[in-house]
Amino acid sequence: MAARSNGRAEAADFRVRLLLLRNLYNQIRFVLFANLGTMVLGLVLLWEQENRPWLLAWSVVLTALALARWALARAFRRRSITPETIGRWSAAHAATTAAQGLLWGLTAKLILLPEPTSFLFLAIIAIAGLTMVALMSYSTHLPTFAAFVAPSVLPYALELAVADQALGFWAVPLCAAWFGTALLVALSLHRRHRREIERQIEREELIGKLEAARDEARRANEAKTRFLGHMSHELRTPLNAIIGFSEMIMARVVDPSGPKFDGYVKSIHDSGRHLLRLVSDILDLTRIEAGRFALEEETVELAPLLEDAAALFRDEARKDGIEIVLDPPPQPLRMRADPTRLRQIVYNLLSNALKYSPPGDVVRVALGRRADGAVALSVGDNGQGMTREEIAQAATPFVQLDRRDVKSAPPPVKRGNYATPGTGLGFPLVAKLMDAHGGRAEIASEAGKGCTVTAVFPGERVV
């Protein structure tokens, strides 16, 4: 639990860092035009100075650096940034920003003024202006802010110290105090930006959760609508059979001693059992989801239980040419479980396997222990199998797979060859019952390669 919480915290922190860094890279285009515009203005104003070649060299280097930063920003937007690479991208931005700050700091040597007083006013304006630019552009990332301000302000402080000793005595400590104050302001702005981004992320996550909940509610509503439409058919068919056959018996249409009478009675009995199973599944699933479900555990030997379940389905399966094969463990295997719910799990798994098995297939029921001690009960067939999307559908209550080419299921109710009987509750109910036992239900399947469903019980239940 602690590791999962740390993982979520690290993911959230990475997202905040990424958004802050993305804001920095998005500003590079604006900074590019601002640098080039200021550079052109400076060249026009200082063109008459004696150090014109140095001014031209400085402008060429500044232009090359601005274009390199623009290319870096384009590369950043095209790449997929990961927690492993975000540090390198942050360092690259800070390094190019430091170079840019140094170039602007060198203007302290390029601007030639005859009087120290004039340079003093220039230095004050330059230091204040460069610091304000840094606060507006780089306060979201403190290393980048410091990387720009320090090399851009320090040359002016040193130039003041060299130009006038009396002034220089105060220039460096005043610039240091100014830098510290600016850093505190940048820290405050950084924290505000970070809080805004965190709130933005929280809003986006909340919106995402609300949209997911809305979509889930819509899917559940659609699934229940389909379920109710199907249930009307599921209930009506056996009820019609019960009513119809019982009316014929009551009207004495058939001879009570004849074979048709026995067939009618069997149809009434099978239809009643189908209705009972249908209603029981619905009630069980409802109780589990409402939290009103309790297991009645006792020690159960699994091999005889599986044999009884296989025997229940074997005769009907053989009519379709399907063989049920048991693969029991070499040693008797006992565990604490609810025997009634355990049979319910096995019945559902076997019923589904037989439903999707072609004639002549073999349904294999295997029981054993895994390396971690867990008990694995698997039922596999060689039928059509399922895609990933269909596996997800199978795990959703009330959703039925639209398998038009699947043969009909074994009795109690035959449907012909065009639709698969069921209510979409089989596997979801198995999954819920496994959750109640502290285990899980796994589906391993590929389209056209059959399907194996495994009920995995925790090893602590073995006795």
pLDDT in tens, 39-93: 888 788 777 777 788 888 888 998 999 899 999 999 998 888 888 888 899 899 8
Start and end residues for every CATH 3.30.565.10 domain found in the chain: 298-461
Count Cα neighbours of 192 within 13 Å in the Cβ-side half-sphere: 8
Rg of the Cα atoms in the chain: 39
pLDDT at site 458:
93
pLDDT at site 118:
67
pLDDT at site 379:
93
pLDDT at site 420:
40
Looking at the structure, give the CATH architecture of the domain made up of residues 298-461.
Answer: 2-Layer Sandwich (3.30)
Judge whether 19 and 81 are in contact, CB under 8 Å: no
Instruction: Read off φ and ψ for residue 237, nearest 5 degrees.
Output: -65, -55
Residue 185, CA distances (Å) to 70, 136, 221, 382, 436 in order: 28, 11, 53, 70, 57
pLDDT at site 407:
41
Question: What is the rounded CA–CA span in Å between residue 85 and residue 93?
Answer: 13
Residues of the chain with pLDDT under 70: 1-7, 112-120, 163-172, 227, 230-231, 233-234, 396-424
Question: What is the rounded CA–CA span in Å between residue 115 and residue 164?
Answer: 10
Residue 195: strand, helix, or coil: helix
- The token pair that represents 58 in the structure block: 């400085």
pLDDT at site 367:
92
pLDDT at site 104:
87
pLDDT at site 220:
77
From the centroid of its chain, how far is CA 218? Answer: 20
Q: What is the 8-class DSSP label of residue 462? A: B
CA angle 409, 410, 413 (to 5 degrees): 85
